[in-house]
Amino acid sequence: MDKTVRVTRSIQVFHAHFQKHYTRPTHHLVHDAHNLLREGDVVRFGAFPPSLRNERDLRGQVVVKRHRPRDRNGMVKEKGVRYVVREVITPFGVPVEQRQSRTVGSDKGRWVGTEGEMKKLALRQKGRKGGGGKKPAAKADKSPGVDKTASPLPA
């Protein structure tokens, strides 16, 4: 998704039988307004501020915990974007000031491939329109008692 990243954080879970806490990873979808985050960045995120939340609510994008769609087993199907990036604590690789926002697609908004990819795509489209190219061979009628290769006898 554009302007959305998946963030992993560690939480502590209590194991009742062992009476011990364990850490396990959990994942959240986080809104990245400027499309600047890269894999490996350490970020601070939090709930949407009231101004952004009102805008998202008007568009129907606010996820309310009790109204999330569930599958037939009762598991939540869509978590939705519930948080926004507050700051990048530690950037991975290129510093944040030198990054350009990620673009999806080309300037025109359509996919533009290399010359080889365009040829390949045209060949595939041609094959789909033409019905596959090869035609199956005509099957001989194998009716009992009728020989198609023999000439009729003069009467």
Q: Residue ranges per domain, the chain?
A: 4-100
Q: pLDDT digit string (tens) for 84-118? A: 999 898 888 888 888 877 665 556 656 677 888 88
Closest CA to 85 of 11, 40, 34, 51: 34
Each residue's pLDDT tens digit, 40-95: 989 999 988 888 888 887 877 776 666 777 778 877 776 778 889 998 988 888 88
Q: Alpha helix (H) ranges present in 8-151? A: 50-58, 115-130
pLDDT band at 22 (very low <50, low <70, confident <90, very high): very high
Q: Is a pLDDT exceeding 80 seen at residue 19? A: yes
Q: Please give the structure tokens belonging to residue 89.
A: 């604590």
pLDDT score, position 24:
94
pLDDT for residue 33: 84
Between 68 and 147, name the one with better pLDDT. Answer: 68
Q: Which of 52, 115, 48, 124 is nearest to 82 (CA)?
A: 48
d(CA 20, CA 34): 41
Return the pLDDT at 122: 86
The residue with greater pLDDT, 67 or 8, is 8
11 or 54: whose pLDDT is higher?
A: 11
* Sign of the CA dihedral running 94, 98, 99, 100: negative
pLDDT band of residue 140 (cuts 50, 70, 90) is: low
